[in-house]
Amino acid sequence: MKKIVCDSYEDVCRYAADVYALQLKDKPDSVLGLATGSTPVGLYDELARRYSNGELDFSKAQSFNLDEYYPIDPSHPQSYDYFMRENLFNKINIAKFQIPKGDAKDPVAECVRYDALIDKAGGIDLMLLGIGLNGHIGFNEPAVSYPVGTYLVSLTESSIVANSRFFGPDEHQPTTALTMGIGHIFRSKKILLLISGAAKADITSKLFEGIIHTDIPACMLLLHPNVTVIIDKAANGE
Ligand code: PGA
């Protein structure tokens, strides 16, 4: 696991955008795994800026998002579908993007459908991850076992509280989600994990202890051959 420490969050985003530029240059039809949350927002801004400057072209690329609340209507402002359109897809020329359907009638069938789509695309070339305060990746929450394929997960109290900042006081906050399982994350050829802010310093230091804490899903990344962690000084405890 390679660690790149940047001075600031802005530098994290610029460094990560350089990784995307290289990826799309090497393989214009890349399959990109994408994430939501606060951390990737600056990266998405930078990708959109570079696209509008003519520096990046996504016209042959496609993407799969890690997760989506369930149940939620894709048009709901708190859905990850909405988030991705607002923050990235409406601003670039990506050929195709896929997000688990938060309004699917049958969540189990939706997970099977989603996995089949990822397989058909040949798996993910570059997977973007954030990390939860509890060490979750995607919505793979700390657990005693981790499904390989996409699945319906009950969110932990930690994730519900962390994400409550996005919901208004009277707004219903889902407590379950559909998430890509550990299998497709680990079959990704390259993984990029972005970490920012002092609140993540504790979980970051656990990740770099060199111990696979089984109750910290992100620690499984220690087993993957091509993971780059791009982190700002605050998250690095500096
Ligand atoms: P955050 O979320 O970027 O909003 O901190 C990361 C995550 O929960 O994976």
User: Is the N-terminal amide bond of 174 cis, ω within 30° of 0?
Assistant: no
pLDDT category, 184, cuts 50, 70, 90? very high
Note the pLDDT tens digit of each residue in 70-128: 999 999 999 999 999 999 999 999 999 999 999 999 999 999 999 999 999 999 999 99
Write the pLDDT tens digit of every residue in 10-28: 999 999 999 999 999 999 9
Strand 176-179 with 151-154, pairing: antiparallel
Task: Give the percent of the chain with pLDDT over 90.
Answer: 98
Cβ atoms of 81 and 73 within 8 Å: the answer is no
Q: Which of 36, 38, 39, 68 to mutate to test the pocket of ligand 1 (most atoms within 8 A of CB)?
A: 39
Give CA–CA dist 102/85, Å, rounded. 15
| Mean pLDDT, range 215-221, rounded to an integer | 97
**Separation of 132 CA from ligand 1 center, angstroms?**
5
* Ligand 1, atom 2, residue with closest C-alpha: 37
Q: How far is the CA of 21 from the centre of ligand 1 (A)?
A: 23
Among residues 119, 132, 37, the alpha carbon closest in space to that of 80 is found at 37
Closest CA to ligand 1's atom 8: 132
Question: Best substitution site from 36, 140, 191 to test ligand 1's pocket, by max atoms within 8 Å of Cβ?
Answer: 36
Catalytic residues: 67, 134, 136, 141
Cβ proximity of 69 and 176 under 8 Å: yes
Q: Tell me how far apart the alpha carbons of residues 89 and 193 are, in angstroms, rounded to a whole number.
A: 20
Looking at residue 164, the DSSP 8-state letter turns out to be: G
Mean pLDDT of the chain: 97
Domains parsed from the chain with CATH numbers: 2-232 (3.40.50.1360)
